Amino acid sequence: MKLNEMPRTHLAHLPTPLEDASKLAAEIGLPRLYIKRDDCTGLATGGNKARKLEFLMADAQAQGAKVVMTCGGSQSNHARQTAAAACKLGMKCVIYLADPFPTTFEGNLVLDSILDAEMKFYPSMDYDDLLRVMEADGKELAAQGIKSYYIPVGGSSPVGALGYAAGMQEIAGQLKVLGAENADIVFGVGSSGTLAGMILGRELFLPESRLVGISVSRDSFQCMQRARKIARQAAELIDADVTIADDCAEVHDQYVGEDYAIPTQEGKDAILLTARTEGVILDPVYTGKAMAGLIDLARKGEIGGDKPVVFWHTGGAAGLFAFHELFRDEAERLASENAI
């Protein structure tokens, strides 16, 4: 097994803290709750893509790429962190966004602009279409002698997933100190590369833990299918002799709501509760929905009990600022309160 020998570029602030969240725990009836602070990975405000990019950008460098291309929605946290990594490593970044040209450049788009990322908007395309557009642009660059590197949506390739296999190695050490290696680990699932890396890392470093993914878009079956495939390919990259069984993780898809990136009431409530008990900021697209899932599963007794629970915070705060209207009622109430 050669995870620790794979090409890796230092981009993230690691290890991220594993913090006690006892006030929130008491509020939702859990005896022990910790938050793994991957919102503090750095790289243009933090988030889970920094861990994947350490391996992806090293791969891009090894291939001699001068341009890195990736895709996502216009509030993509992944695109923003890729743009930051490209700046640091002296590469050009082009991001392909499956959304209309925005009326206002908010949230992550502000950071993308500051980070000098070329932004291309394709309102009527899905990520498969965008991949074809990226490939065509890559060929054009190649004809000019410029090598490019594509990163799939969310950085969810086998190489990217290694970031979370290494993340599991990191948290295994932290949980050991706390005597909490049998924790239920809860986190948001989007393009499933984070889940894939955790599945591999669990096999290698933390076999007593249980992985509880909360989908923010696809159904559970699709998430698990994607994740298991990426995990197997990632295992091959590092010559890890593991079997990725059907029950290596679980994904709950009942907290998505109407659709990806459409806020839910439960997600909003989870954002307010987490902020007001722990001072920790979640977002409406990923971590708010993931925490809504954690709270519901805890209240139903499906996680926790005699086992510790970890909420793996995957970031997303930069996107929050594109959702300021969601908190307008709170702002107005607080601005007219007269308690003091």
Nearer to ligand PLP, 70 or 287 (CB): 287
Report the site for ligand PLP in 63-82 (rule: CB under 6 A). 77-78
Nearer to ligand PLP, 49 or 92 (CB): 49
Report the site for ligand PLP in 265-294 (rule: CB under 6 A). 286-287
Report the site for ligand PLP in 150-209 (rule: CB under 6 A). 154, 156, 188-195
157 is catalytic: no
The CB-of-253 to ligand PLP minimum distance in angstroms stands at: 13
Interface map 99-138 toward ligand PLP (x if CB under 6 A): ----------------------------------------
3-state SS string over the chain? Answer: CCHHHCCCCCCCCCCCCEEECHHHHHHHCCCCEEEEEHHHCCCCCCCCHHHHHHHHHHHHHHCCCCEEEEEECCCCHHHHHHHHHHHHHCCEEEEEECCCCCCCCCCHHHHHHHCCCEEEECCCCCHHHHHHHHHHHHHHHHHCCCCEEEECHHHCCHHHHHHHHHHHHHHHHHHHHHCCCCCEEEEEECCCHHHHHHHHHHHHHCCCCEEEEEECCCCHHHHHHHHHHHHHHHHHHCCCCCCCCCCCCEEECCCCCCCCCCCCHHHHHHHHHHHHHHCCCCCCCCHHHHHHHHHHHHHCCCCCCCCCEEEEECCCHHHHHHHHHHHHHHHHHHHCCCCC
Residue span binding ligand PLP (CB under 6 A) among the ranges 131-139, 202-210, 267-275, 312-320? 312-320
Active-site residue identified among 76, 157, 191, 209? 76
User: Total residues at the site for ligand PLP (CB under 6 A)?
Assistant: 19
Binding site for ligand PLP (CB under 6 A): 47-48, 77-78, 154, 156, 188-195, 286-287, 314-316
Q: So which residues are the catalytic ones?
A: 76
